[in-house]
Structure 1
């Protein structure tokens, strides 16, 4: 019989589900190997309809009491939850690095603090939601944010802990109960999340975790009619399938999907800062949905800027993500490595020029060299489709109109980055680019109060601040006629 737990980087991690406040096993299991070195990380419980139904039922049973606490009543336990994440920071970071190949230093110093903030920020934000009145000549509109019910949270493998807590924080703060479906390629930190939530005092059934393959556990979960909300981060193709399931039960759905984001560099920009930021798009082996993978450079500075980028990219050391000097770790899985390699080989065959990289690194089986293609046409696959690897394309433009046209020339609209020295010009370009987030002279700066999401096939809905609660709550208006009560008391 397969073990129900594994020692990962010296941390004991349960390989079973977390349902109704206890560990639940499954007869079926799937193997989980580390992309770092191929080591066995254990056989994880593979759930299906049985486990998904159990988890939704446990969440439904726990919902009335959790919702009745109100934002103030939920605040202490959510604060303790956030503190627990920080206290287990070294464990979380070490496990996530082995499980998905992300950089250990980044996990420790950025991912874990952000995960804790995702919980505490939304717990605090929820306190002010009910103090919202809209005055009218005849009535006072009292706007309420009521918990919706059970939310299914389906999260990706490129940053499991950070992106799961980005959903967990507002969902729980709103008063919902939740069922998390972790990514099968990197499920382990979501298992740790359940332990930390339990230790913080979350009541049984408030937070549940169902492990498994998307086609089995995920499909069963999104087709459960007991859900009130489905939040999904992942591929556009999978979102279409989930959207069909949500439609059958008229279940609210929010999705943050793929991207093919432009990175525009104007001639008057700070070219040194821009070049460093371009090289930074290789972080996490390019497995970042927000990455600016299409480098669009004003033609007059092409030669000079290319040399700056080349020098910066040369410092993006490929290696073991546990080493401090490493900047680019492995791709997540052999299937994904084959996918990225396929894009690269087809681009070569189509005539694109490899400026650097373009092949497997000698570091290990799943490590790919940071790659840059030039000679790319706007309609080429490599310029249109999301590769989700350390692969960038290089194009030039001669005026703002051309830059905007190229930037908007894909089906996506998740994010964009612009380096420009003139504020008026920068705002004109930024306003015209179709994207949920457009960074100007910076990258990946996230304010949890600001809206985040995608346009076009990059998603539906926005998260962040009140925008998250707009999704996770049933918003009610109580319209009271002025002067219609004799008194306010009993």
Structure 2
């Protein structure tokens, strides 16, 4: 078996199917976003690999699904343990492969990945046979595993989002096929090593690498798939929904964001500005970031000065260095997309408050940027950039702030700073799947996560994840002898 050497970490470039590594005759090149150096060639998932993965998952499903949640839990706990044993490797791989900050991986992502597996394994214990008592009967509500599920994750957070979906899918008793992002597949490959070492039955967890147009398309259009969970772009989601819909396969779609960051006149401007600078983390490649700054006109000048001071202190550089706060854009194609948004906005009259150009550190780096004098209907305000580019608009009243906040086709998240009661009242009027008041990034696995409008369909987290990955069934047990009669329904 051939292995890649990435910063001293050995990782397979091949698929993981039925407990074994499987190579492909066709491969695609992988480069690091840090300095464009070649990382190796990755096996492309062809029709035979998709078929083998589906068959393997189908074969493993009867035994895995027959286990109780309590019986599956030790496997998943060991899976989390094996992720922890490889913590340094996961950190180095994703930093080299996707440009994610090494410090963020070490202190946030890897611990969260372990928790994703453990928490859902534990929560699954609470789901079975929940009784609903009525006068006539006891309703035993069951969450039965759906079958073979496909998980497709994006390149901005491969490890975290893979485990976020795999945790409930596996804990529910499904067998999974993970399709990693082609621009950053390596931590998903290492995840297969962790699952193998944990003793997951062959076929319970499979990894098939490849492009969305080739491998992904074959997976989501197969009638044997029971569920598709996807995080990514709106255009891709539309295609997935259409392909899966032909077989009436349910989809969970967590998509893009164009979230508002509202600064009310009674906000703590220093705290709001410090939080605002966080929107540049992962080079702005974060779907839930507040990218549209809506600032009350009375405090706009002071807020801009405060945030500028924070942005000027940001350390742009190599994500493998502990002090780095802003790393590279994932791919040359994405960099061109980001730069194009800014160039067109400036040509249309936008004013650059800071940034606005490529960064001198490296070929795939872009300056943290803020654009003002942008129209509500403009491309830069309405469409997701997915880079370190923010916009700033002012408002004169709460009603105007809410109108601007709700004035896009997206509705994923949001941030609202102000006196707590005031900010909470405004936040409740913003049409999003979630919104943070005087904070950012607070998450709990028991809480729902997802968007409205073009930001997605469905919710992930807590019971919501299991309701998607399970067939919910009501077992009705009468409390009195039942007498059949055509006069009663």
Q: Tell me the TM-score normalized by structure 2.
A: 0.98
Kept after mapping to 2: 8 A contact 1:29/1:43: yes
Kept after mapping to 1: 8 A contact 2:353/2:372: yes
Are 1:302 and 2:300 counterparts? yes
Q: SS in structure 1 opposite 2:410?
A: coil
Are 1:462 and 2:462 counterparts? no
Kept after mapping to 1: 8 A contact 2:136/2:480: no
Pick from 464, 469, 474: which aligns with 1:472?
469
- Equivalent positions of 1:376-395 (< 5 A) are 376-395=374-393
Equivalent residue number for residue 453 of structure 1 = 450
Q: Measure, in 2, the Cα distance between the counterparts of 1:275 and 1:290.
A: 17
Are 1:481 and 2:483 counterparts? no
Are 1:201 and 2:199 counterparts? yes
Kept after mapping to 2: 8 A contact 1:153/1:180: yes
| TM-fit CA distance, 1:323 | 1.1
Q: SS in structure 1 opposite 2:454?
A: helix
| TM-fit CA distance, 1:452 | 0.4
Equivalent residue number for residue 82 of structure 1 = 80
| TM-fit CA distance, 1:124 | 0.1
Are 1:162 and 2:131 counterparts? no
Identify unmatched segments of 5+ residues in structure 1.
486-490
Q: SS in structure 2 opposite 1:354?
A: strand
Q: SS in structure 1 opposite 2:291?
A: strand
Equivalent residue number for residue 254 of structure 1 = 252
- Equivalent positions of 1:430-441 (< 5 A) are 430-441=427-438
Equivalent residue number for residue 322 of structure 1 = 320
Are 1:373 and 2:406 counterparts? no
Q: Measure, in 2, the Cα distance between the counterparts of 1:152 and 1:48.
A: 16
| TM-fit CA distance, 1:341 | 0.6
Kept after mapping to 1: 8 A contact 2:155/2:181: yes
Equivalent residue number for residue 487 of structure 2 = none
Q: SS in structure 2 opposite 1:140?
A: strand
Q: Measure, in 2, the Cα distance between the counterparts of 1:422 and 1:241.
A: 41
Q: SS in structure 2 opposite 1:178?
A: strand
Q: SS in structure 2 opposite 1:145?
A: strand
- Equivalent positions of 1:125-140 (< 5 A) are 125-140=123-138
- Equivalent positions of 1:257-268 (< 5 A) are 257-268=255-266
Q: Measure, in 2, the Cα distance between the counterparts of 1:192 and 1:484.
A: 56
| TM-fit CA distance, 1:131 | 4.1
Q: Measure, in 2, the Cα distance between the counterparts of 1:65 and 1:117.
A: 25
1:369-404 Cα distance to aligned partner (Å, 9 max, x none) = 000000011011101100000000011111110000
Equivalent residue number for residue 335 of structure 1 = 333
| TM-fit CA distance, 1:415 | 0.4
Q: SS in structure 2 opposite 1:432?
A: coil
1:20-67 Cα distance to aligned partner (Å, 9 max, x none) = 100011110000000011111110001122211110110010001001
Q: Measure, in 2, the Cα distance between the counterparts of 1:376 and 1:151.
A: 43
Q: Measure, in 2, the Cα distance between the counterparts of 1:236 and 1:316.
A: 31
Q: Measure, in 1, the Cα distance between the counterparts of 2:180 and 2:420.
A: 44
Identify unmatched segments of 5+ residues in structure 2.
483-489
The count of residues paired between Structure 1 and Structure 2 equals 482
| TM-fit CA distance, 1:4 | 3.2
Q: Measure, in 2, the Cα distance between the counterparts of 1:408 and 1:311.
A: 29
Equivalent residue number for residue 278 of structure 2 = 280
Q: Measure, in 2, the Cα distance between the counterparts of 1:182 and 1:95.
A: 14
Q: Measure, in 2, the Cα distance between the counterparts of 1:453 and 1:49.
A: 32
Q: Measure, in 1, the Cα distance between the counterparts of 2:51 and 2:219.
A: 7
| TM-fit CA distance, 1:261 | 0.3
Equivalent residue number for residue 421 of structure 1 = 419
Kept after mapping to 1: 8 A contact 2:332/2:364: yes
Equivalent residue number for residue 29 of structure 1 = 27
Kept after mapping to 1: 8 A contact 2:31/2:40: yes
Q: SS in structure 1 opposite 2:293?
A: strand
1:234-260 Cα distance to aligned partner (Å, 9 max, x none) = 001000000011111111110000010
Kept after mapping to 1: 8 A contact 2:420/2:438: no
Kept after mapping to 2: 8 A contact 1:436/1:455: yes
Q: SS in structure 2 opposite 1:300?
A: coil
| TM-fit CA distance, 1:83 | 1.1
| TM-fit CA distance, 1:301 | 0.6
